[in-house]
A and B are shown apart, each in its own frame.
Chain A
Amino acid sequence: MSSRIRAIAFNTFRETVRDRVLYNLVFFALLLVTMAPLFGQISIGVQRVLLVNLSLSAISIFGTVISIFVGISLVSKEIEKRTLYPVLSRPVGRGEFIVGKYFGLSGTLLVNTAAMALGFYLALFLMTRDFTRADANVLIAIYFIFLEFIIIIGLALLFSSFSTPLFSALFALSMFIAGTFAGDLRTFAEITHGPQKWLAIATSYLIPNLTSLNVITRVSHDQFIPRALVAYNTLYAMFYAAATICAALLIFSRRDLK
């Protein structure tokens, strides 16, 4: 079974890369390069804060867009183009297919994020000519951003397993926005009174918690990120992503493929 999942994952990776998804790296590089002259105008301390904020936000946004839009097309494109038929007529389970696709896209985003991280560190080195302890801290923020991606990819897969590309994109985007404000939504749920309280609380835990995964500002101010948070976030992302995949699996297994 694992050789099939690996084959599907690798094929997804290959297809995505050849579809020129990695060209977004070019835009990222362009972004950093065009911002460089701006940096020259400001004092060193703020320079670093700005670079960290800008780069990490860009990594987050670019990656999220890829996660949503490529994630959705993973299943729906295969169904629409009927490339799925020769695959499923082989001894491949529908679950293996979904899991393979998931790992394929996650792998692509891993490569993408790593490349951007490299670009960022290069820019940082060019700016400060020195590596400090705090710079390693930024890696944690980038790791958290990657954890965000694996959650969003899971959601994109889930929605595309039963809905059209347009609605899948809408749902995934909505979940992303809701997830960004997850902390506030939980606060709101706790303040609520009455019978809706349980519904509000349930919803606030249902949406992905992207708030704790966003430590960009903290890292730009060289604040310490507790190890416990790293551990809990990793655990959370794995649980949540696994849950979305299970749900996607359950739905996709039942689906008639027109």
Chain B
Amino acid sequence: MLAVEILGLEKTYAAGFWRKKQKLALRPLHLEVKQGEVFGFLGPNGAGKTTTLKLLMGLICPTVGTARILGQDWRDPAVRARIGFLPEQPYFYDHLTPIELLDYYGTLSGLSPADRKLRIPKLLERVGLAEQGRVQLRKFSKGMLQRVGIAQAVLHEPEVVFLDEPMSGLDPIGRREVRDFIQALNDEGKTVFFSTHILSDAEALCDRVAILNRGELRSVGVVAELVSQKSNRVEIVWQGKSAVPAIQSLGGSCHVAGETVRAVLDESQLQAALDALKNQRVRLISVNPMGGSLEEYFLQNLGEAVEVRS
């Protein structure tokens, strides 16, 4: 049984003053997510990632198409008890405390009072909010809210967890913690489906990714396979500005910072470049094959500006 099957989900909005214009948010999407996978849903802003998640959660209705989650119709309320959802930039009731919030959500998810009493403290500790259990949510920072969001998504121990931009707005420490958390969820056997536009995170975590752009699915595949596609570029770092023109004449692009130069050029020119540098007697720092990164693949295939974080 597949965790998620998207069968031709499409979403068109009626736009314009008289609602005559059609705005296509998502072209007919076909996608499969296997159980136990960490599946990344990538794409620039406005690609349709959030639209897809909202469709799966039943927050909006598709124009055409259906989906199945854990083998059942995605609209079936019984399915909702087995999935968890973290919306983008979550916001919760200002005047509630995390304990009260999780208690409320737990009741809605069908957990018994005993269960809730048991799980909530443990969960808060797991996301690092044990101390703030009784502080009202309006006093929480963005990172803390994100942690509350993750907590509520996994409170009822769902089999599939859907996260919409879980890393957004977090500092590097926070992001690292979320990454570890996702990995931990996966280790527990849960399926994780998360959308992001930060490629390095996807590269590190995902078994497979799907890339969306402008409402259309561009490619799906195992990260390693997508990434190994030839890029033919090489990066050379050295010290010595004098060599810059020589390298540039070989078709390399140079970036100078003080005395250090970083150049990127075609693999075929590598030998010539190294010769030129040797002639100039510069101090070579590193030579690295470029590409082999999701970012390269992304830029090549989409040609759009994308965030790169490491």
Contact = CB atoms under 8 A, between A and B. Distances in A.
User: Which of A4, A18, A86 neighbours the largest number of chain B CB atoms within 10 Å of its CB?
Assistant: A86
A8 B153 CA distance: 18
Contacts of B110: 91
B109 interface: yes
Interface in A81-131: 81-83, 85-93
A86 B77 contact: no
A256 B61 contact: yes
B108 A83 contact: no
B144 interface: no
B280 to A, nearest CB: 58
A3 B107 contact: yes
B105 A257 contact: no
A92 B85 CA distance: 14
User: Which of A15, A19, A93 neighbours the largest number of chain B CB atoms within 10 Å of its CB?
Assistant: A15
A89 B57 contact: yes
A7 interface: yes
B128 interface: no
Contact of A88 (B58, B86, B94): B58
A91 B93 contact: no
A86 B81 contact: no
Contact of A92 (B87, B108, B153): B108
B87 A4 contact: no
B59 A88 contact: yes
A89 B96 contact: no
Nearest to A80: B91
Interface in B189-231: none
B83 interface: yes
A11 B92 CA distance: 12
B54 interface: yes
Contact of A86 (B87, B96, B100): B87
Contact of A7 (B58, B86, B108, B153): B108
Contacts of A91: 77-78, 80-81, 108-110
Contact of A85 (B85, B94, B109): B85
Nearest to B79: A91
Complex A-B, nearest 7 residue pairs according to Cβ-Cβ distance, in ascending order: A18-B95, A89-B85, A91-B80, A7-B107, A85-B87, A256-B60, A91-B77
Interface of A: 3-4, 7-8, 11, 14-15, 18-19, 81-83, 85-93, 254, 256-258
Given A82-B90, A85-B59, A86-B92, 12 more contacts: A7-B108, A15-B96, A18-B95, A82-B91, A85-B87, A89-B57, A89-B80, A90-B109, A90-B156, A91-B108, A91-B109, A257-B60
